[in-house]
Amino acid sequence: MVAEAAQRLSANAEIRDLSSKPAARLAAGTVNRTSPMNRRPFALLAPPLLAILLLGAVPLVLVLVWSFWTWDPATYWIKPDMSLAGYSAILDAGRWTVIVSTLLKAAGTATLCVFLAFPIAYVVQFLSGPRLQALLLALITIPFFTSYLIRSFSWRLVLGRTGIVNTMLQHIGLTQAPVDWLLFSNFAVVVGLVASYLPFAVFPLVLAFRRVPPDLIAAAQDLGAGFWRAVATILLPLTFSGIFAGFLFVFVMTAGSSTEVQMLGGAGASIVSVMINDVMRVANYPLAFAISTVVLAVIFTLVLVGNVTFKLSSLFAEEDR
Amino acid sequence: MAIAIDIQSVTRAYGPIKALDGIDLAIKAGEFFTLLGSSGCGKSTLLKLIGGFDRPTKGRILFEGRDVIDVPANKRPVNTVFQNLALFPHMTVAENIGYGLKLRGLSGAALKAKVEDALDLVELPGFGPRGIAMMSGGQRQRVALARALVMEPGILLLDEPLTGLDERLRQQMRDEFGRLHRRTGATFILVTHNQDEALSLSDRMAIMHQGRIEQLDVPAQFFARPANSFVAGFVGIDTLLKPERIEQHSDGLRAVIGGQSLRLRSPMGSLGDDSLVAIRPDRLRISESLDGADLVLTVVGTTFRGLQTDVHLAFADGQSLVAVVSSDSPSATLAHGARVPLSLLPDAAMLLSGLGMPPAA
């Protein structure tokens, strides 16, 4: 018996070596990794993977590499190097304050968007029938249908000295003269940014809310929780991945925005993308890429930390209930 | 501790549709009461009103004589085991059970002791630190029960809590409900579409249909005296025959079906033209000889059901009924077309008002 089993084992070992015969390997119990069925996902993924590599990864690597090159202001010429000149130029000319203010503005806008998106997602997911839900989601996508330029410009008409808001305020007698800080100010910039990027916060939150059975809120209330308590102890923890994803989306989009700031910001308003643009005009690519690298590093860190802490991937995971 | 509930002409309308239509119902303190009905009959809506998750359009709901319509769910002495359990997935078993206690201000050792008592009560000692995802279906059921019972509610609502469990677990949890009811003494209200659950657990039950209560009684009465043909069908008296006519004889009413006359138990209240004759399968016997048989019917088929076999028997007019016989009796193998004598035990046939009629007074 034992000898027979040993013989069979060694026979199996031989079969395993005949890797050209899938059936034999299946019989020997090895995983069939190269079968057509298992190869298909990679074949399907190849074109997008190639696109991401060529259009995403390669330029990013170039940005990183060129940020260490040196720039000659006399000839506007750049040459290969391993210099930190670009990075020190960020510190020297106070350009870092623009980076910091951009990141702060992005964080502020993202926070505001999340605060606004949370009740929207609640209404969409828990208080709407299927038809109202579809209508609300369609309304939320409206900002996508117009260009950023036109949308920003239309805010000028709303917020300007002779805009709708000022006319209304004067008409009902709340103010005598037009309110100046409505336009060409940080306020106007944030209004424009929120209006543009709010949908990016709403959709991940709706996705996160969809994974929360409405019965959980009822259960919390059944056990004695008031509405706000139920939101804080049940809804908030269960939708944190969505909150963070929404924050991140808006943060990234805002950090890279330029139109809203240029159209609605005051004379002194600056933002990273505008600064990069200015530097590029004099062909100082190392500095431009150094700034880009710093901002990218901040964003990548956020994504990594977020993914570990809040399990962003769970937002798209199969429902486990 | 147990609370009596008085529901007075409660209506809940969604636009033109009345989910509940003038419900009057008094549930005694400490009673195990069941609302039985198919989906859409209004039983879950009624449960929501008692739990405080919804408001009636009209009518009053009293707990121990006090109107509670304006009392929100989180302030009512009611706890619920939800249909899909609604356990908090981001909390451990102990955190789930302790959730309500914490809101009451319990903490530390007192909280821990109560949670452990609750785990013992549902026979899950030591499961506190586990995540919900690690619990099996039956264990989750017990956690949901513990989470509600640890609050020591005056009323426990069970909203179809056994759906989605396999038959063995269902049986086990059913016994568990009975045990916990005796143990806690709270008023239990079970909502279900499963008549077995209702019959085995309830002190009293109500069968609901289209927002109304068709019959309200102790379980045995639903078989002895079903209020109408809907109730009879719902509790498993499937044979409902349309009589040619009803005759008044010296020994009581008789119905004529397919040319044969059968004795009826006297009906409750008045009956309309749409009355049906219900026949209890457990009160039919296939007799040996044609002498003295109450009915003689033709076999149209048999269905083997394991220990028992259904024998389908037809009247001359094509209407048929089912007699249940032991699978090893000779009757189980009767040939198609055979003529079979039947005797009817007392109360085998009764006259009932037609489907969807309001219950007889």
pLDDT score of A7: 46
Q: Supply the mean pLDDT for chain A.
A: 82
Average pLDDT, stretch B285-313? Answer: 88
CA distance B361 to B355: 16
Closest approach of A119 to chain B, Cα-based (Å): 20
Single-letter residue type at B360: A
In this prediction, residue B285 carries a pLDDT of: 87
Among the partner residues A223, A238, A320, nearest to B103 by beta-carbon distance:
A223
Which residues contact residue A190 at a Cβ distance below 8 angstroms, ignoring those fewer than 6 apart?
Answer: A105, A108, A109, A112
Residue A180's nearest CA partner among A155, A153, A157, A162 is A162
- Strands B284-286 and B295-305, how do they pair? unpaired
More confident residue, B305 or B164: B305
Least confident residue range of B238-247, B266-275, B287-296: B266-275
ipTM above 0.85, yes or no: no
- pLDDT at residue B262 is higher than 50: yes
**Identity of the residue in B103, B133, B147 whose CB atom sits nearest the CB atom of A225:** B103
**Structure confidence at residue B280 (pLDDT):** 87
Burial class of A89 by CB neighbour count within 10 A (0 to 12, 13 to 18, 19+) = middle
Superfamily designation of domain A85-316: MetI-like (1.10.3720.10)
Over residues A142-164, mean pLDDT: 84
Distance from CA of B143 to the nearest CA of A (A): 13
Nearest-CA neighbor of B59 among B75, B39, B74, B42?
Answer: B42
What pLDDT is attached to residue B356? 47
Question: How many residues does the structure list for chain A?
Answer: 321
Q: CA distances (Å), A138 to each of A36, A141, A210, in order? A: 41, 5, 17
Q: Are B110 and B187 in contact (CB under 8 A)?
A: no
Q: Which domains does chain B have, with CATH numbers?
A: 5-224 (3.40.50.300), 238-352 (2.40.50.100)
Enumerate residues 6+ apart whose C-beta is below 8 A from A138. Answer: none
Beta bridge partners of A16: none
Nearest CA in chain A to B155: A222
pLDDT exceeds 60 at position B240:
yes
Position B93 scores a pLDDT of 96
Interface test with A, best of B54, B76, B82, B147 (most A CBs within 10 A): B82
Choose the weakest-confidence range: A96-100, B212-216, B349-353: B349-353
B178 Cα to chain A: minimum distance (Å): 22
Q: Average pLDDT, stretch B218-246?
A: 87
CB contact under 8 A, A320 and B133: yes
Q: Which of A222, A229, A321 sits opposite B73 (nearest CB)?
A: A222
Q: What would the mean pLDDT of A306-316 be, rounded to a whole number?
A: 75
Tokens of A242: 């969505």
Question: What confidence tens digit (pLDDT) does each residue in B339-352 have?
Answer: 999 988 888 888 88
Torsion of CA A227, A228, A229, A231, to 10 degrees: 90
In terms of C-beta density within 10 A (0-12 exposed, 13-18 middle, 19 or more buried), how is residue B232 classed?
buried
Q: Check B80 against A219: CB less than 8 A apart.
A: yes
Query: What percent of chain B has a predicted confidence (pLDDT) above 90?
Result: 50
The upper half-sphere exposure of residue A162, i.e. CA atoms within 13 Å in the direction of its Cβ, equals 0
* Alpha carbons A282 and A269: distance in angstroms, whole number: 20
* Two tokens, residue B257: 């079906």
Nearest to B74 among A215, A225, A237 (CB): A225
pLDDT band at B267 (very low <50, low <70, confident <90, very high): low
Q: Considering only CB atoms, which chain B residues are within 8 Å of A216?
A: 86, 88
Mean pLDDT of the residues in chain B? 89
Confidence grade of residue B359 (pLDDT, cut at 50, 70, 90): very low
Per DSSP, the three-state class of B163 is: coil
What is the percent of chain A with per-residue pLDDT over 90, rounded to a whole number?
Answer: 29
Q: What would the two tokens of residue B114 be?
A: 């109560």
CA of A221, closest CA in chain B: separation in Å? 5
Residue A28 has pLDDT above 60, yes or no: no
